[in-house]
Amino acid sequence: MSDLIFYNGRIITMEEKLGEVEAVAVEGGRIKALGPAADILNLQEDHTTLVDLRSRALLPGFNDSHMHLVGYALTSEKVDLRRCRGVDEIVDAIRAYVSNNKVGKGQWVLGWGWDQALFRDKRIPNRQDLDRAAPDHPVAIMRTCCHVMVANSAALKAAGIDRKAVSVEGGKIEVDDRGIPTGLLEEKAMSILTNLQPPLDKAKLKKLIKSAAGDFLAAGLTSVQTDDLSSVGGECTSMLIDTYYELEAAGELPLRVNLQALLPEPSLLGNFLARGYRTGQGGQYFKIGPLKLLTDGSIGGKTALVSAPYEGSSETCGVSVLARGEVEELVNMAAGQGMQCAVHAIGDAAVKMVLEIYQDAARRYPHSDPRFRVIHASMAGPKILDRFENQGVIADIQPSFISSDYILVDRHLGPKRAVWTYRWKDFMDRGIRLAGGSDCPVETYEPLEGIHAAVTRQDRYGNPPGGWNPDQCLSLQEALYIYTMGSAYCTYEENEKGSIAEGKLADLVVLSEDITTVEPSAIADLKADLTVVNGRIVYSRGEQKN
């Protein structure tokens, strides 16, 4: 018996030995058989749904190795500033939001997605700009990287930092020449404002998760690995985990979720471990993943921790969100209890530090397969690449970063260091494990846009011409691999998903065309026509199923 049969198309299994096949049969949520179309079609029963691919491509469902699901869902309640091309446009957008949504005086207005690299004058907004936009409301707007925020006078006053800046370990409050805050906050300093926002409850969380899941399924994502505690707070860990368990038990979680637990304090991690939470626990749809930590910020915000000052500055080397000793303590706590670790590191100084800490933790707590991960790993010179290769550490990369960062990397780092930024081909050629993600909502969750960026080193509009450092382009097969098998390997699930093979979970996506025959420049324009999770069609883009 078969529940689904796919035939008459390009079936890309992502299995090196198997290659491509003519047809696939699905039964009971798993791949039952693959092979010649005539043989597979003979498995048809009365209840079987036949899916004629009509020369389109069938692939394993896409798996995002690092994103912020709840953070993305919350953006629907904020002012979208991604299309703004200057400070005045930000002011206009905020004014329109307040007017259109009839936001009452004194209520918070939150925005996100601005990027000064796209502005005509490259000027970062300040408190006075936001005062013009909404003088009767506290306003806070997040840069696209989510590592820099600007607030207006009312918001700073509500936080008690309107007249004089306070020192924030792991963060920065910018001040003018009189010592008065300009409104710009970096890294941990942002929490002074975010802590003023009302907490989320289970009902709101469930609504947000289901809403985001629907968008992800429509993009062909069947699995996501998400840091949600950055949005709900480490003190809400148990509530968040219970929310996911309840959704799964009720059959209301339509895609697979692996939680990256952001627990940046020993007390938070200690409570987590004391409750018995460990990597890999959970059901088929929700699992607890690695300990997640942040060591630095972003290149665009000049908060990534670099070994030499940014261009045009004799002092600025970024922000150390956690001191080395703090990272060491947390990684060792987790590793000593068998927890996997995944640490955000973008600047070369941060990446080097994390790799050194991992090496020490591996010696202290021997584990046959720790699968340490560096999220982003944006700057990697030859010595850092050597460490990745020799230590067997995974690099979680976000190819879509190219679209927003290529403009800034040369400017902020200079041409010599820019050469060692986003060296994906070097990673691949050395046999270093790669996984593909989006860091959504920092970049779009659309995996096809990430695949396009990995293959072309361009944004979806073809910029820059010829690609940015095109020697680091991945092949199409390599790019597909990191979004399927590469991401599955991150969560110890390469034997369960990530490829189309007999016995594996039937998590699949049908694309609108054969991705192997379209021009690389057109990859980002492809759509997911069908998305299948656990053998069920959970999304259909108006397709007729025979």
248, 312 in Cβ contact below 8 A? no
Whole-angstrom Cα distance, residue 330 to residue 270? 9
Which DSSP letter does residue 379 get?
B
Sign (positive or negative) of CA dihedral 38, 43, 47, 52? negative
What amino acid is encoded at 462 in this protein?
Answer: G
The rounded distance, in Å, linking the Cα atoms of 2 and 50 is 10
Kindly give the pairing relationship between strand 221-226 and strand 256-262. Answer: parallel
What are 86-144's pLDDT values in tens digits? Answer: 999 999 999 999 999 999 999 999 999 999 988 988 899 999 999 999 999 999 999 98
**pLDDT tens-digit map of 210-224:** 999 999 999 999 999
* pLDDT at 545 (0 to 100): 40
If we measure between CA atoms, which residue out of 198, 204, 270, 191 comes closest to residue 239? 204
pTM confidence score: 0.91
DSSP 75: G
Please report the pLDDT score of residue 117 as a whole number: 85
Pairing of strands 256-262, 4-12: unpaired
Residue 543: predicted pLDDT: 53
Under CATH, what is the fold of the domain 77-194? Diaminopimelate Epimerase; Chain A, domain 1 (3.10.310)
Question: Got the DSSP string for 486-505?
Answer: IHHHHTT-TTTSSS--TTSB
Position 39 scores a pLDDT of: 96
Report the CATH number of the 4-61+501-540 domain.
2.30.40.10
Task: Report whether 358 contacts 341 (CB < 8 A).
Answer: yes
- In single-letter form, the type of residue at position 33 comes to A
Q: Rounded distance, CA 72 to CA 68, Å?
A: 6
Residues 410-426, buried b or exposed e (16+ Cβ, 10 A)? bebbeeebbebbbbbbb
> How far from 264 is each of 297, 363, 371, 417, 546, CA to CA, in Å?
15, 22, 20, 29, 51
- Taking the C-alpha atoms of residue 188 and residue 429, their distance in angstroms, rounded to an integer, is 36
How many angstroms separate the CA atoms of 111 and 82, rounded? 10
For 292, left (φ over 0), alpha (ψ -120 to 50), or beta?
beta
Token readout for 477 is: 């097969």
Q: Locate the DSSP E strands across 71-187.
A: 79-80, 109-114, 139-143, 148-151, 171-175, 181-187
> What are the boundaries of each domain within the chain?
4-61+501-540, 77-194, 200-284, 295-497
Of 445, 323, 345, 440, give the one whose Cα is nearest residue 393. Answer: 345
Give me the CATH topology for the region 295-497: TIM Barrel (3.20.20)
Q: For residues 184 and 124, is the Cβ–Cβ distance under 8 A?
A: yes
Rounded distance between C-alpha atoms, residue 154 and residue 542, angstroms: 48
User: Cβ contacts of residue 387 below 8 Å, gap of 6+?
Assistant: 352, 355, 356, 359, 393
Q: Give the pLDDT confidence score for residue 76 in this predicted structure.
A: 87
Q: Backbone phi, then psi, for 171, in 5-degree steps?
A: -155, 180
Would you say the C-alpha torsion 196, 187, 405, 450 has a positive or negative sign? negative
Residue 528 is encoded by which pair of tokens?
């997911």
CA dihedral 348, 350, 352, 356 (to 10 degrees): 180
Do the beta carbons of residue 177 and residue 143 sit within 8 Å? no
Supply the mean pLDDT for the chain: 94
Sole residue written with tokens 């959504």: 440
Q: Residues of the chain whose pLDDT is less than 50?
A: 544-546
